[in-house]
Amino acid sequence: MPLSLVKSAVETSQIKAVIFDMDGLLLDTETLSFESFIATAARYDLVVGINDYRDMIGLNAATGIDILRSMLPTNMDAVAFKNEWLDVYRQLLLDDVPVKAGAHAFLASLHQIDMPRAVATSSSGQKARAILQKTGLMHYIQHVTGGDEVPAGKPAPDVYLDAARKLGIDAADCLALEDSNNGTTAALAAGMTVIQIPDLAPSNRSPNPPDFQICTSLAEAASLIGLEIDMSSPATIDANRP
């Protein structure tokens, strides 16, 4: 059954699938990534801040390296810096992968009504599947497309178009949930309805209901499409459902 995204009391947009970004949207990992970026820069007495990090949010690895190269001293190897940064980041993730409030419940609610759902992320597909498995979210996700599995990463629409194709749903009938501006650009370019839930960076565009709306949380986004989710505890996995 399609969900309805409300623009007014009489005007709705039908949604036949929901496609999620991962970092900063389902997982509270952008903060950890930013902290590890700051810590790595400090090893080289480099002063960087949130604005430097924001330029790289939502981009695939190759594009992120180009931006990183432009901000580092010319004598520094951007790839080596990024690898060191990733090592620090992975250490932070060893004990726990923080999940955004409402992520389990939102996905479980879609699962219960048989709404097709996928993840379209700038992270590598292999990494994304492993992290989603570790958090228990992978149980609810039918397909994952990583930024390394398509010709062009966000802000190009490729990851979203591929996720829709895997679900067998026209992109125009999909709702995309994003935190980053680059990801929002990608989903809109794919022709999807988009709800942005900004994380570390504010939205750089104005709401345009019903095609593009901004929410402050997954719970608010769920309510916008007619789902009431329990934010008090993670959803219970029903092992009897496929």
Confidence of residue 9 (pLDDT cuts 50, 70, 90): very low
Residue 17 pLDDT greater than 50, yes or no: yes
- The pLDDT tens digits of the residues spanning 84-129 come to 988 988 888 777 889 999 999 999 999 999 999 999 999 899 989 9
Task: State phi, psi for 145 to the nearest 5 degrees.
Answer: -120, 125
Q: Give the separation between CA 34 and CA 176, rounded to whole angstroms.
A: 24
User: What's the CA angle centered on 151, arms 148 and 156, to 5 degrees?
Assistant: 95
155 preceded by a cis bond (ω within 30 of 0): yes
Q: Give the separation between CA 121 and CA 19, rounded to whole angstroms.
A: 10
Judge contact between 93 and 156, C-beta under 8 A.
no
pLDDT at position 16 is 95
Q: Within 13 Å, how many C-alpha atoms sit on residue 153's CB side?
A: 21
pLDDT at position 154 is 92
Q: Give the separation between CA 56 and CA 53, rounded to whole angstroms.
A: 6
pLDDT at position 208 is 94
**Which of 179, 185, 147 shows the shortest CA–CA distance to 163?**
147
Q: Which strands, in side-by-side order, build the sheet including 212-214?
A: 143-145, 117-120, 17-20, 174-178, 193-196, 212-214
For the chain, percent of residues with pLDDT exceeding 90: 64
pLDDT at position 92 is 80
pLDDT at position 119 is 98
pLDDT at position 234 is 52
Residue 239 pLDDT greater than 70, yes or no: no
- Mean pLDDT over each residue of the chain, to the nearest integer: 88
Q: Give the separation between CA 182 and CA 51, rounded to whole angstroms.
A: 14
Q: Give the separation between CA 124 and CA 147, rounded to whole angstroms.
A: 6
Confidence of residue 6 (pLDDT cuts 50, 70, 90): low
Residue 156 pLDDT greater than 90, yes or no: yes
- The pLDDT tens digits of the residues spanning 186-215 come to 999 999 999 999 998 899 999 999 899 999
pTM for the whole thing?
0.82
